Amino acid sequence: MIRTMSAQRVYRSPFPPFSTPRDLSISQFLLASNPDDVSHETPISSDFNNPSHGLTFGGIRKLAAQGAAGLRDVVGLGEGDVVCIYGQNSVNWSLLSHSVMWAGACSW
With 60 as the cut, is the pLDDT of residue 11 above it? yes
Model-wide pTM > 0.75: no
- pLDDT for 4 equals 58
- Which has the closest alpha carbon to 96: 34, 75, 38? 75
pLDDT at residue number 75: 94
In this structure, the strands spanning 106-107 and 82-83 are parallel
Give yes or no for residue 74 having a pLDDT over 70. yes
pLDDT tens sequence across 37-68: 888 888 888 888 888 889 998 898 899 999 99
Are 97 and 107 within 8 A, CB to CB?
yes
